[in-house]
Amino acid sequence: MMKHHEFLSKLLFAIGVFFLSTSYGQSPVALRFDPSKFVAQSQELNGKTIKVRAYEKIVYVSNPVDTAYQVMNIYIPEEYFNGGSINGYTAQTAPLFFPNKVGGYTPALPATFKNSPQRGPMPGGNQISSVLVALSKGYVVASAGARGRISPQGKAPAGIVDLKAAVRYLKANDATIPGDANKIISNGTSAGGAMSTLLGATGNHPDYEPYLKALGAANATDNIFAVSAYCPIINLENADMAYEWQLNKIHTFKFRGKEGTLDAVALKVSEELKNAFPKYVNGLNLKDNAGKKLELNAQGEGNFKEYVKSFLAASAQKALTAGVDVSKYGFLQIKDGQVQSVDYDGYMQYLERMKTPPAFDALDNSSPENQLFGSATVDKRHFTPFALHYAPNTLSSMADALQIKMMNPMNYIGAKGAKTATYWRVRHGAKDKDTSFSIPVLLATTLKNKGFKINFALPWDRPHSGDYDLDELFEWADSICSPPSPHWGS
């Protein structure tokens, strides 16, 4: 039976989101796609002209809160209006590529086709946009904007609710929009990767229904076909423990233009968080490829640690096989062209620490995630009991339990009431220090243990970034979409 305070928390949270939707709302919007309202656009890619019909700034909910962000751009290859095909796809069978531009959980505009051939300022330089590549390979592209943490109406779960509403718009208009809305493949990086995983994990779950109804989302489902996520910043209420379990021995940091050495308080916080992580891991009851339970002892040692190291070793092996000189890394033991083992502590010295503890739920409420879990009246709130307990400000408050739950895909994978996507592709760079390696490893293992199809890797020497392997991404997407499958779950 639900406790009284839990019920009250859910009720107040639902009232709050309804208030935001109605008080900031605008005139009702008709949710019918008009195929005649387009602009012809074209771009060059590898000597080929990509011609599309561009449908931009489509408001995807009937009671929008913020039409600067609650809009979607849809790009459709011109061939599909002339009975043509691309890469074996037609107007009836083309998958829908659904990229988002969410970063740092801030508000995001939809991705565009014309005048923005490059993805944003990711480490390692610019590259061709996923929108352009997707269209060249025969995908219909639909990209939705979403609200974010910096405004009262953009607090969690606003961003994921917006993207769900956009999916519902696409499904409700499947008969008039070329492409197969039952083959939606989401894509995002960092917080956008988190949004992509949430879309995939939480399809049709009733937790989100009140918020979708308040916005006037289309009467359709919001489960998707597949997930592509780069370095997803997820599992936030457990990420602080994971970060310190990984980097507890690294006492220097470089973060947001600041660098230094952890002080006595930070070291104490790090130790306590590290010591709390094994209980979380052990409670998940996950199993390795041999069916053995993944565990850690009180000191943070165990086969789960070896399991994480195995992904790093596999990453180094792939790089070595591809001709990369990895012999310079002293933390790798290599024999006869094979990576034998990884010195974990040596690897962490190479990786370096980025964030001070706690990495996400800052004790002084200063992190972006604290703002994400704010409310209509409180800009920043804690989302872990640990940070609330140690908060220097006695006026600090805790986010709603349901709000916290709704932002973690781990809570919904294969859960009752959720239609979780079957296919997943997750990439987290082996030089990415924004969150612990264990976070994507736990995601991938949970998916695998629960019977979902997961393609997971830690690309060698890759920092926090995304969309860096688009050819491989679409090879994977083609492999799960071809030959065309029957409609399902609509």
CATH class of 4-234+413-429+464-481: alpha beta
Report DSSP state, residue 121: S
- Yes or no: say if 231 and 432 are a contact pair by the CB < 8 Å rule: yes
**CATH T-level topology, domain 237-406:** Rossmann fold (3.40.50)
Task: Give the chain's radius of gyration (CA, Å).
Answer: 22
Q: What length is written for the chain?
A: 490
User: ∠ at Cα 62 (59, 67), nearest 5°?
Assistant: 40
Q: Look at residue 127 in the predicted model and tell me its pLDDT.
A: 65
Nearest to 277 by CA among 314, 305, 313, 312: 305
Angle between helices 236-247 and 438-449 in degrees, nearest 10: 120
- Yes or no: say if 112 and 73 are a contact pair by the CB < 8 Å rule: yes
CB-based contacts of 97: which residues, under 8 Å, 6+ apart?
A: 130, 131, 134, 139, 140, 141, 142, 185, 187, 477
Task: State CA 314 to chain mean position distance.
Answer: 23
CB-based contacts of 190: which residues, under 8 Å, 6+ apart?
A: 102, 103, 104, 230, 231, 232, 233, 434, 464, 466
Nearest to 185 by CA among 410, 431, 477: 477
What the block records as the tokens of 79 is 């061939």
Mark residue 414 as left, alpha or beta (left: phi above 0; alpha: psi -120 to 50; beta: remaining). Answer: left
Residue whose token pair is 């610019």:
126
CB-based contacts of 120: which residues, under 8 Å, 6+ apart?
A: 101, 103
In the three-class reduction of DSSP (H, G, I as helix; E, B as strand; rest coil), residue 52 is classed as strand
In the three-class reduction of DSSP (H, G, I as helix; E, B as strand; rest coil), residue 348 is classed as helix
Q: How far is CA 158 from CA 57, 65, 216, in A?
A: 19, 10, 14
Q: Look at residue 394 in the predicted model and tell me its pLDDT.
A: 81
pLDDT in tens, the chain (490 residues): 344 444 344 444 444 444 444 434 445 778 999 999 999 999 999 999 999 999 999 999 999 999 999 999 999 999 999 999 999 999 999 999 999 999 999 999 999 997 654 433 344 444 689 999 999 999 999 999 999 999 999 999 999 999 999 999 999 999 999 999 999 999 999 999 999 999 999 999 999 999 999 999 999 999 999 999 999 999 999 999 999 999 999 999 998 789 999 999 999 999 999 999 999 999 999 999 999 999 999 999 999 999 999 999 999 999 999 999 999 999 999 999 999 999 999 999 999 999 999 999 999 999 999 999 999 999 999 999 999 999 998 889 999 999 999 999 999 999 999 999 999 999 999 999 999 999 999 999 999 999 999 999 999 999 999 999 999 999 999 999 975 444 333 3
In the three-class reduction of DSSP (H, G, I as helix; E, B as strand; rest coil), residue 334 is classed as strand
Is the pTM above the cut of 0.75?
Answer: yes
Q: Indicate if 237-406 has the same CATH topology as 4-234+413-429+464-481.
A: yes
Nearest to 417 by CA among 240, 221, 196, 142: 221
| Dihedral sign, Cα of residue 242, residue 247, residue 253, residue 257 | negative
Q: What residue ranges do the domains of the chain occupy?
A: 4-234+413-429+464-481, 237-406
